Amino acid sequence: MIGEYNANSHFNVLIKNGLAALPPGLQQVDIGIRGEKIAALGARLNASADLTLDAAGQIVLPGLIDPHVHMGIPIKDTWSADNFTTGSTAAAFGGVTTILDFTVQQPGQSLRQALDDRLTRAHAQCHVDYGVHVNITDQPLTHLNEIPELIAAGFNSFKVFSTYREAGMMIAWPDFRAVLAVIAQHGGLLMLHAEDNDIVESLTARHLTEGRRAPIYHARSRPAEAEARAIEQAAAIAGDLGAPLYVVHVSSRLGLEAGLRARARGVNIYLETCPQYLALDESRLAGPNGHWYIATPALRTRADAEALWEALAADAIDAVGTDHCPFTRTQKDAPGGHFAYTPNGIPSVETRLPLLATLGVAAGRLTWPQLVRVCAANPARLFGLDGRKGALAVGMDADIAIWNPAQAWVIEADNQHGSADWTPYAGQPVQGQLSALFLRGQLIIQDGRYLGDEVWGRLLLAAR
């Protein structure tokens, strides 16, 4: 475990006495950082350092990875409220040192053009490290030839949608098969937003024709059955091809079970869920300002959330991303509460760690290593960041989050750092608080203050 270390060692940073989330549990260790890397890790490192931080009683985690964020994307006549600057600041306050965003492919654009647009938006704006998944939404078959070169260039993850036909984003199943085949053949990973569009469109039309516009009809138009049906169809194709498949934001027991059935048949399927499907339920859509809670997939029942918690505890879910896609109250209110026109998405990147630490670890549902597995180690492995990100080990990037489990606070809109002027988690008590965050050896957050006066975030390319 100990790296380059002797009694005369000197580190740039020495984190002492922390309880590090090192599988299978928590171990008291000291961590020495030199430059951007973890240089040594072991019990009682006696060395000098430019900065020594006593983390006694605190949990030391690898900087978290959020594999699913949207920093400024067009949805329903508006744009999600966080750009890379504000969204990455919020991410950092949530213990996140890497965000993975998605391209937005405009009609007629090549995948490369869409990627370049996204990279331009992020460049010199991001306060944490970032990667970009490549969305394939426009005429997928005409872009198959771009896929190998993008993978070779370090962009190895792609995403398609089995719904959102009205927005010109849906992929048909035969095209899905062709795209998945090429991606798998070249060692990439396809991500899928899974909802059966026929079910969604017919229920949406029925509710609207019969005059039902209230926010709860967002959930009634996009039921769990739609998620499960799309996962079944996609998994059947992935199984046929022997291709890996990553299903984003699994929200329901039915969707989860469809994924787990496929896995039991031998399909190489990875399942991601999000904090909103663990911590919230569809009663929010029927309550005050119900339209603020419109996100897709829709919020589900408590029983669905329980099924997801159980799957997390059983290590059956591979990742917890956030699908961070905030809108301000003004943006949410503009369509007058109409479920079909309200921009879908909620802020989440800053609250994943507090929610999982409180409702998961402190509640006895999850261990710290399990939290690290789904919020750091697995995303690193799946998206080609292994060996650099996602674990506390000698030679890794010194991305380190320190969490003080003794601090208690309450989530409110005014203690959040993104652009949304509300949070779906207002009033939620939190057990523990981020006390420090290092990004590649730089201390960027300490005791609730952002210290980075420069933009430290770098583009990450996937290793092959």
Binding stretches for ligand URP (CB under 6 A) = 70, 193, 295-296, 323, 325, 344-345
Q: What, of ligand URP, Zn ion, none, does residue 345 touch, CB below 5 to 8 Å by kind? A: ligand URP
Least Cβ distance, residue 276 to ligand URP (angstroms): 9
- To the nearest 10°, report the CA torsion of 150, 156, 161, 166: -30
**Comparison of 18 and 140: residue with beta carbon closer to ligand URP:** 140
From the list 125-133, 138-146, 188-196, 311-319, the region that binds Zn ion by CB under 5 A is 188-196
Judged by CB under 5 A, how many residues of this single chain contact Zn ion?
Answer: 2
Q: What, of ligand URP, Zn ion, none, does residue 291 touch, CB below 5 to 8 Å by kind? A: none
Task: Name the pairing type of β-strands 74-75 and 48-54.
Answer: unpaired
State the binding string over 316-355 for Zn ion (x if CB under 5 A, else -).
Answer: -------x--------------------------------
**Comparison of 96 and 295: residue with beta carbon closer to ligand URP:** 295
Least Cβ distance, residue 249 to Zn ion (angstroms): 6
For 272, phi then psi, to 5°, come to -115, 140
Least Cβ distance, residue 258 to Zn ion (angstroms): 16
Least Cβ distance, residue 215 to ligand URP (angstroms): 13
Burial class (CB in 10 A: 0-12, 13-18, 19+), 159: buried
- To the nearest 10°, report the CA torsion of 237, 262, 307, 252: 10
**Cα gap 411→415, rounded to integer Å:** 7
Tokens matching residue 35: 């430059």
| Whether 99 contacts 389, CB under 8 Å | no
**Comparison of 70 and 440: residue with beta carbon closer to Zn ion:** 70
Task: Please count the other Cβ atoms lying within 10 Å of the Cβ belonging to residue 276.
Answer: 28
Q: What, of ligand URP, Zn ion, none, does residue 295 touch, CB below 5 to 8 Å by kind? A: ligand URP
Instruction: Give Cα separations from 243 to 67, 185, 191, 263, 268 (angstroms).
Output: 20, 8, 12, 12, 7
Q: What, of ligand URP, Zn ion, none, does residue 276 touch, CB below 5 to 8 Å by kind? A: none
**Cα gap 241→107, rounded to integer Å:** 29
Least Cβ distance, residue 291 to ligand URP (angstroms): 12
Least Cβ distance, residue 347 to ligand URP (angstroms): 11
**Comparison of 281 and 323: residue with beta carbon closer to Zn ion:** 323
Q: What, of ligand URP, Zn ion, none, does residue 350 touch, CB below 5 to 8 Å by kind? A: none
272 makes contact with Zn ion (CB under 5 A)? no
Q: What, of Zn ion, ligand URP, none, does residue 138 touch, CB below 5 to 8 Å by kind? A: none
**Cα gap 180→136, rounded to integer Å:** 11
**Comparison of 71 and 385: residue with beta carbon closer to Zn ion:** 71
Least Cβ distance, residue 354 to ligand URP (angstroms): 20
Q: What, of Zn ion, ligand URP, none, does residue 344 touch, CB below 5 to 8 Å by kind? A: ligand URP
Residue whose Cβ sits closest to Zn ion: 193
Contacts of 145 (CB under 8 A, 6+ apart): none
Least Cβ distance, residue 318 to ligand URP (angstroms): 17
Q: Which alpha helices (H) appear in 186-322, and where do they start and end?
A: 197-209, 216-221, 224-241, 253-264, 275-279, 283-286, 302-313
**Cα gap 355→251, rounded to integer Å:** 16
**Comparison of 82 and 397: residue with beta carbon closer to ligand URP:** 82
Residue whose Cβ sits closest to ligand URP: 344
Q: Which residues, in sequence order, are bridge partners of residue 229?
A: none
**Cα gap 246→187, rounded to integer Å:** 13
Least Cβ distance, residue 100 to Zn ion (angstroms): 11
| Whether 183 contacts 143, CB under 8 Å | no
Least Cβ distance, residue 250 to ligand URP (angstroms): 12
Residue whose tokens read 């739609």: 226
Task: Name the pairing type of β-strands 400-410 and 59-62.
Answer: antiparallel
* 270 Cα distance to chain centroid: 14
Q: Which alpha helices (H) appear in 337-453, and where do they start and end?
A: 352-355, 368-372, 378-382
Coil, strand or helix at 109: coil
State the binding string over 275-314 for Zn ion (x if CB under 5 A, else -).
Answer: ----------------------------------------
193 makes contact with Zn ion (CB under 5 A)? yes
**Comparison of 31 and 295: residue with beta carbon closer to ligand URP:** 295
Strand intervals (E) in 362-450: 400-410, 429-439, 442-446, 449-450
133 makes contact with Zn ion (CB under 5 A)? no
**Comparison of 165 and 365: residue with beta carbon closer to ligand URP:** 165
| Whether 292 contacts 338, CB under 8 Å | no
Tokens matching residue 211: 């005059």
From the list 79-87, 129-137, 187-195, 435-443, the region that binds Zn ion by CB under 5 A is 187-195
Least Cβ distance, residue 249 to ligand URP (angstroms): 6
**Comparison of 91 and 295: residue with beta carbon closer to ligand URP:** 295
Question: Would you tell me which residues interact with Zn ion (CB under 5 A)?
Answer: 193, 323
